[in-house]
Amino acid sequence: MQRKKVDVVGLGLNATDSVLMVREFPPLGGKERVVSLSRQAGGQVATALVACQRLGLTTRYIGKVGDDEAGRFQLQSLSDEGVDIEFSAVTAGAATQFGLIIVDQATGERTVFWDRDKRLAVTPHELEQETITTARLLHVDGCDADSCAQAATWAHQAGIPVVADLDTVYKKVEQLFSLIDYMIASANFLPTITGQNDPFLVLEYMAREYKMHAPGMTLGRDGALLYCGGRFYYSPGFVVETVDTTGAGDIFHGAFAYGLLQGWAIEQILDFSNAMAGLNCTRVGARGGIATRAEAEDLIASGTRHRNPDYARLPAAGGRGRPSRKIKSTLAK
């Protein structure tokens, strides 16, 4: 049967979150009264797809949930948004991935505790090539690395760009690097795997070593930094009234995919992605504050920005100097 075409297909994590708001995060061994408790749908790829869907794209989610109430809640949340969940599987006897998220009300920063049943892993033989190649863009998070690599291989063969959201050093995730076109990693991911803290040096290295079209990283409130076409691009983050930072990176990636498919310039994509991420932080939950395109554009036009001079003074390509020896991955072999 011929699969319907979609704009974005995502392979990766979903999670059902319990979000606890506290006035301030207590010290180890302390106690703190809960201000509020809510259940929220989340997960890196699932949330990014919801952002794409709300921006007007069509999406397909590939992943697994358990046969529990949390799994039903997660799938219903995606279905209600219009995400195609035909290729989302329910695993009998497994528990849906959960996140216990504690949000410091004073700052909006969150601390995440999570677990994932190993039976929720998607294996390569469970994938269907046409579910990938009938999309215009593939988004992955590297969790099930073998499957992400298979999907990315099919995408490349079909001329489909691959966007990756990498923030955890999963086993064998390095096999993905040469298959990624746009990697927007968390601030700690690339320093962890390369042993090099200079973000400019690390991004140049990833482009050179793995032939990535555009490696980059999110920088929290400071925005995002990206290396593409032999030059650096820095987009400062926006000043917002932060309530909960959960899901900011996921929304950034959904907005980034949207901008790519609109054919925007890199500068515009980064500004839009930062604005969408910032606005999501003004509500509770990974998907609580997903804004409209118009709202994001209003913030871009009139908002105040965090301009970190460490990133704003962009060096020329190679201007920070080459490492005296080749950067070696610290990933376990």
pLDDT per position as a tens digit, 18-52? 999 999 998 999 999 999 999 999 999 999 999 99
* Rounded mean pLDDT, 243-264: 97
Here the tokens at position 98 are 């959960």
Here the tokens at position 61 are 């989610």
DSSP string, 198-240: -HHHHHHHHHHHH--SEEEEE-GGG-EEEEETTEEEEEPEEP-
pLDDT at residue 313 greater than cutoff 90: no
User: Is 328 inside a domain boundary?
Assistant: no
Residue bearing the bigger pLDDT, 75 or 309: 75
How many domains, the chain? 1
Helix (H) or strand (E) holding 104: strand 98-104
Here the tokens at position 64 are 């697994």
User: Is 225 inside a domain boundary?
Assistant: yes
User: Is 51 inside a domain boundary?
Assistant: yes
pLDDT, position 80 = 98
pLDDT, position 326 = 46
pLDDT per position as a tens digit, 226-241? 999 999 999 999 999 9
User: Is 322 inside a domain boundary?
Assistant: no
pLDDT per position as a tens digit, 91-131? 999 999 999 999 999 999 999 999 999 999 999 999 999 99
What CATH number is associated with residue 95?
3.40.1190.20
Residue bearing the bigger pLDDT, 324 or 201: 201
pLDDT, position 321 = 44
pLDDT, position 322 = 46
pLDDT at residue 329 greater than cutoff 70: no
Helices 266-280 and 248-262: angle between axes, nearest 10 degrees? 150
How high does pLDDT run on average in the chain? 93
* Structural domain span for residue 301: 6-28+35-312
Residues of the chain with pLDDT > 70, as a percent, come to 94
User: Is 270 inside a domain boundary?
Assistant: yes
CA–CA gap between residue 38 and residue 19 (Å, rounded): 5
8 neighbors 57 (Cβ within 8 angstroms): yes
pLDDT, position 330 = 47
Strand, coil or helix: 60: strand
Q: Considering only CA atoms, give the Rg of the chain.
A: 19
CA–CA gap between residue 330 and residue 169 (Å, rounded): 10
pLDDT, position 324 = 34
User: Is 161 inside a domain boundary?
Assistant: yes
pLDDT, position 318 = 56
Of 140, 144, 143, 166, which Cα lies nearest the Cα of 152?
140
User: Is 231 inside a domain boundary?
Assistant: yes
pLDDT, position 325 = 40
152 neighbors 290 (Cβ within 8 angstroms): no
- In this prediction, residue 3 has a pLDDT band, given cuts at 50, 70 and 90, of confident
CA–CA gap between residue 225 and residue 216 (Å, rounded): 5
* Rounded mean pLDDT, 180-194: 94
Of 234, 9, 29, 51, which Cα lies nearest the Cα of 138?
9
Q: Rounded to two decimals, what is the model's pTM?
A: 0.93
User: Is 228 inside a domain boundary?
Assistant: yes
pLDDT, position 333 = 39
> Distance of alpha carbon 186 from its chain centroid, rounded?
8
- In this prediction, residue 2 has a pLDDT band, given cuts at 50, 70 and 90, of confident
pLDDT per position as a tens digit, 123-163? 999 999 999 999 999 999 999 999 999 999 999 999 999 99
* Rounded mean pLDDT, 280-293: 97
Strand, coil or helix: 63: strand
